[in-house]
Homo-oligomer: A and B are copies of this chain.
Amino acid sequence: MEVIVHKYGGTSVGTPEKIKKVAERIARVKREGYEIVVVVSAMGHTTDELIDLMHKVTDSPDPREYDMLVSTGEQVSAALLAMALQSLGCPAISLTGGQAGVVTEDIYKKARIKEVKLDRLKKELKEDKVVVITGFQGIDSEGNIITIGRGGSDTSAVAIAAALKAQVCDIYTDVDGVYTADPRIVPEARKLKTISYEEMLELASLGAQVLHPRSVECASIYKMVIHLRSSQKEDEGTYIGEAPRLTTFARGKEAGKMEKKEAVRGIALDENIAKIGILKVPDKPGVAAELFGALAKEKINVDMIVQSIHSSGTQADMAFTVDGADLKKALEVTEKAAKKLGAGGVVSDPKVCKVSLVGVGMVSQPGTAAKMFETLAENKINIQMISTSEIKVSCVVAAEAGKRAVQLLHKAFGLDKISQ
């Protein structure tokens, strides 16, 4: 019998009523003749409430005890979902990550999953039960409860699906799929039927709210097809995977489309960035290492980096972007480094954003970047920084121009017309 893995997020199991609705869907799919494993998050705001409670006890919680505490949230929702299934006459059992054989590294709060031991899981599936597993957690070799960090339940679901060689990992969420652009910005944005792992990773800023990059990485390693879909309706969402496997799910026409490699498949907008410039840096080896080493030491993630030769010839200007929330800290570090390096000065701008075109076909269609620049120039949108990869072109522009840039590019590349 084929195994299917379902994953439901906190909103989908936020109330007893919603839990019952989710149970109905699972029972229906079970009747269609599948073995089903369900991975659940904690109900609604449970995790936040536990963390609030924790902060009333201590300011500096021990990571081990943090994991012990917050892991209870998923245990509650898993037990309740199993009960809801049973009351529909659908045999079910809930398992903690540990009971389900999810073994992690022994790094509290952000471990990676090392292995999923399938003995117990397979035994329960054999007994015709739906197995409901607590997402976001596993145990280390000593039996300690360990959580696996942000986006954890998605990753749990994909890892368990991979271990079980499931047909597909259905991730049920608030949105009904991946779009060519954020529909709130581009009303004509179209839902993509399929998307590759690489594209999905690059479109993280579109998908981050609904699917954590780590789960996509994990899926790409094990070639697990993720079906990102709405927990509110029965429509198909977006299949994330590799073309050969996606043909199993998507209609023939669609699979063919994948092979043709559309140049641009989606446009992402990241408004949560800030730009820092360091001026007149002596143009000598070790400068970048000094600056970015200092930033890395403070755990500040640097995204785009641009270095340009200054007119003087012996000096360079450098610019880079960081997460908006890191700007203050990043500025301190940069100013210290600038002094040490004898640079001319440091400037910053929090009012910028990043517009990116994403598509695996871009590599074979070199005109894409040029067309992007042209479109922005025609519309008087000034490009402050550029960065390109094989499947992406990103431009930093003024914050107030971001949404308009996405709309213009969506139209220019015909994303509203192409059946994706």
Q: Name A residues whose Cβ lies closer than 8 Å to a Cβ of B.
A: 16-17, 19-20, 50, 53-54, 56-62, 64-66, 68-69, 71-72, 75-76, 78-80, 82-84, 86-87, 93-94, 96, 98-99, 120, 142-145
Given A59-B87, A87-B59, A64:B80 Cβ within 8 A: no
A395 to chain B, nearest CB (A): 46
Please tell me which one of the listed residues B20, B69, B72 contacts residue A57 in the complex, with CB atoms under 8 A apart. B20
A111 to chain B, nearest CB (A): 17
Q: From A88, which residue of chain B is reached at the shortest CB distance?
A: B58
Q: So how many copies of this chain end up in the complex? A: 2
Please tell me which one of the listed residues B19, B69, B120, B144 contacts residue A76 in the complex, with CB atoms under 8 A apart. B69
Q: Which residues from B are CB-within-8-Å of A78? A: 68
B99 touches A83 (CB 8 A): no
B64 touches A93 (CB 8 A): yes
A65 touches B83 (CB 8 A): yes
Given A57-B20, A144-B99, A62:B86 Cβ within 8 A: yes
Best-surrounded residue of A76, A120, A144 (most CB of chain B within 10 A): A76
Please tell me which one of the listed residues B68, B71, B83, B93 contacts residue A54 in the complex, with CB atoms under 8 A apart. B83
Q: From A134, which residue of chain B is reached at the shortest CB distance?
A: B68
B68 touches A86 (CB 8 A): no
Alpha-carbon distance between A222 and B196 when the two chains are bound, in angstroms: 64
Q: Which residues from B are CB-within-8-Å of A144? A: 99
For the complex of A and B, the 3 pairs showing the least CB-CB separation, nearest first, are A16-B56, A69-B79, A72-B72
A19 touches B57 (CB 8 A): yes
Q: Chain A binding site: helix, strand, loop or mixed by DSSP? A: helix
Q: Which residues from B are CB-within-8-Å of A94? A: 65, 68
Alpha-carbon distance between A71 and B68 when the two chains are bound, in angstroms: 13
Please tell me which one of the listed residues B59, B80, B82 contacts residue A53 in the complex, with CB atoms under 8 A apart. B80
Alpha-carbon distance between A78 and B66 when the two chains are bound, in angstroms: 11
Best-surrounded residue of A16, A65, A84, A144 (most CB of chain B within 10 A): A65
With A69-B75, A69-B76 already in contact, 4 other A-B pairs whose C-beta atoms are closer than 8 Å = A16-B56, A53-B80, A59-B87, A65-B83
B83 touches A62 (CB 8 A): yes
B87 touches A65 (CB 8 A): no
Alpha-carbon distance between A144 and B143 when the two chains are bound, in angstroms: 14
Q: Which residues from B are CB-within-8-Å of A84? A: 57-58
Q: Which residues from B are CB-within-8-Å of A60? A: 87
Best-surrounded residue of A56, A59, A61, A83 (most CB of chain B within 10 A): A83
A-B CB contact pairs (8 Å), 19 listed: A20-B57, A53-B76, A54-B80, A57-B83, A58-B83, A60-B87, A61-B83, A62-B83, A65-B79, A65-B82, A65-B86, A65-B93, A68-B79, A68-B96, A69-B75, A69-B76, A72-B76, A75-B75, A120-B143
Alpha-carbon distance between A59 and B86 when the two chains are bound, in angstroms: 11
Q: Which residues from B are CB-within-8-Å of A79? A: 54, 65-66, 68-69
A67 to chain B, nearest CB (A): 8
Alpha-carbon distance between A298 and B56 when the two chains are bound, in angstroms: 47
Q: From A144, which residue of chain B is reached at the shortest CB distance?
A: B99
B82 touches A62 (CB 8 A): yes
Alpha-carbon distance between A143 and B78 when the two chains are bound, in angstroms: 16
Best-surrounded residue of A19, A54, A57 (most CB of chain B within 10 A): A57
